[in-house]
Amino acid sequence: MKYKRILLKLSGEALMGEKNYGIDSKRLEQYAHEIKKITDLGVEVAIVIGGGNIFRGVQAENIGIDRVQGDYMGMLATLINAMALQSALEENGMFTRLMSGIKIESVCEPFIRRRAIRHLEKGRIVIFGAGIGNPYFTTDSTASLRAIEIEAEVVLKGTRVDGVYTADPEKDKTATRYTTISFQEVYEKNLNVMDMTAFTLCQENNLPIIVFDMNKDGNLANLIRGEKVGTLIM
């Protein structure tokens, strides 16, 4: 196994699957199966899931809600996804704990770093819900920050594309995929990997990121085994 402790970032939007809104149960089930394969390998797994399928803070002003309020709504949206994912993982025989960046005591534990690490050591999957608990951040920044805090070896960004390309592969047929690229080159070429806050946190803390296709069967487990999947940024 290449990694002992990882942080997996899943977008909320991906949870919609074939639907236009909300949570697709098939997608949830598929994610649970992919994650089960890596817990069976013995890797310690922490997960951050986004909320874009339900609400994003930047949308708030379009409907007359101020940005900060909207961001809190977005954070609560991530918690709904996290609860759905938690259920799917437990249905499939995994042990989990949900930790929230905003205190919601009757639903989940507050985020406490040492406690999160303890859960991981005991083989529980830790899901970080409600972002970092502050507006003007994203779940990508949450993923970077929490990964550093729990000393994960890598951030695995599961998306629907199989890595980072020289240009948008959906628009430019000549675009090619990087297998490895440096943080500096991503900056210089202005490639879209994560928002700048999230990206800089990883760079400054020497935390590699792998962007990979989460929808391809077995990809996640192959990555953990050390196969070249997606794009490694280091």
Q: Which residues bind ligand UDP (CB under 6 A)?
A: 11-13, 50-52, 56-57, 70-71, 74-75, 77-78, 131-132, 134-135, 137-140, 142
Asked if residue 171 belongs to a known ligand binding site, the reply is no
Question: Residue 184: what residue type?
Answer: Q
Asked if residue 220 belongs to a known ligand binding site, the reply is no
Least separation in angstroms between residue 71's CB and ligand UDP is: 3
Within 13 Å and on the Cβ side, how many CA atoms surround 138? 17
- 9, 51 contact by CB (below 8 A): no
Least separation in angstroms between residue 223's CB and ligand UDP is: 19
Asked if residue 9 belongs to a known ligand binding site, the reply is yes
* Contact residues for 182 (Cβ-Cβ < 8 A; gap 6+): 233, 234
Least separation in angstroms between residue 4's CB and ligand UDP is: 25
Q: Measured from the CB atom, is 103 or 122 closer to ligand UDP?
A: 103
Residue keyed to tokens 């990121």: 209
Three-class DSSP category at 89: helix
Asked if residue 183 belongs to a known ligand binding site, the reply is no
Q: Measured from the CB atom, is 137 or 212 closer to ligand UDP?
A: 137
User: Is residue 225 exposed (0-12), middle (13-18) or buried (19+ Cβ within 10 Å)?
Assistant: middle
Least separation in angstroms between residue 51's CB and ligand UDP is: 3
Residue with smallest beta-carbon separation from ligand UDP: 50
Asked if residue 206 belongs to a known ligand binding site, the reply is no
Strand 154-159 versus strand 5-10 pairing type = parallel
127-158-152 Cα angle (round to 5): 50
Asked if residue 22 belongs to a known ligand binding site, the reply is no
The H or E element spanning position 44 is strand 44-49
Least separation in angstroms between residue 119's CB and ligand UDP is: 20
Give which of 211, 151, 221 is closest to 181, Cα–Cα: 211
Q: Output the known binding site.
A: 9-12, 51-52, 56, 71, 132-139, 159, 165, 168
Q: Output the known binding site for ATP.
A: 9-12, 52, 56, 159, 165, 168
Q: Output the known binding site for UMP.
A: 51, 71, 132-139
